[in-house]
A and B are shown apart, each in its own frame.
Chain A
């Protein structure tokens, strides 16, 4: 019976102390293995299904994700081993009545205090990343993102540029790389969710509330975004794209859009036509 970790100290034989220390050493050696393996692998901690993303804060969220997952695997692994051990080591073989032990206060205190410490650690790590993520640093570029049923409208204030698109074709939000881009998020009808998977970030677009956040993209590329909060019939089709470009490309794009918008306005004025406010086709540059 004394082959396993003892639970009740009174029943512990005198030499049990040394048995326990020896066993502890073995446990520590075993626990050191995965950590050593991780160290050997260098900085290639597995991604556990997530991706580092394309912004500075998405990278710190990814780090947090890795930290939480390593913790979860260790805690979950230990718990699983304990369950499996208890179940198979102590499966019923006869009609015995085991010792009716019910309390072991030091042990119970241990598994109360250790989780509290873990939780406080996780909370501290959370606070660090969270403060980085919700900070609003000084920005040069501002984009007003407006969600509606079922599409998106991106306005570049002071630039005479508006990008609109809904269901059938997705609008594209263009933003410069390595630049703090400030987003003002609003909704004109129901609650929508502004979610860019590559940025590891989402935020509700609420009617009557202005939500603000800042992205600093580090890689150029085109990323998918989608509405994540159920907003009615065509919720599934409410996609958009985020195109991160270099600074010069961004300036060129802005200029061409503004020119196109001006030309469109002129022709509209000469043709005595009024363009619809919410186009069914994505007519970029309509103002």
Chain B
């Protein structure tokens, strides 16, 4: 956890330094704002990881001497096959086509998207079709 935090925080700090130099040198808005947001985007997860790295004991993947047995147990629940990503993708497709060909395409688009979100959530709660 600690190395992940260090990576993100150092990237964020570098962007912070860069945006400071850039802003005081050029006074250009667009680039400064975008770089500043980049810095925030690194600090957000980075500080979260840093917070937890101080409060939890190292995970097996952070321990250089870990054995495979130390990782025994459930890593996570992985869904089996699912039709909902495809449904949601098609929904997004129709939403984008609505931007081009007419607002009426939003009806199938949003319909499919909502159906997929409800279906996918229900599937997640059941733990997948298996």
Q: Do chains A and B touch in the complex (CB under 8 A)?
A: no
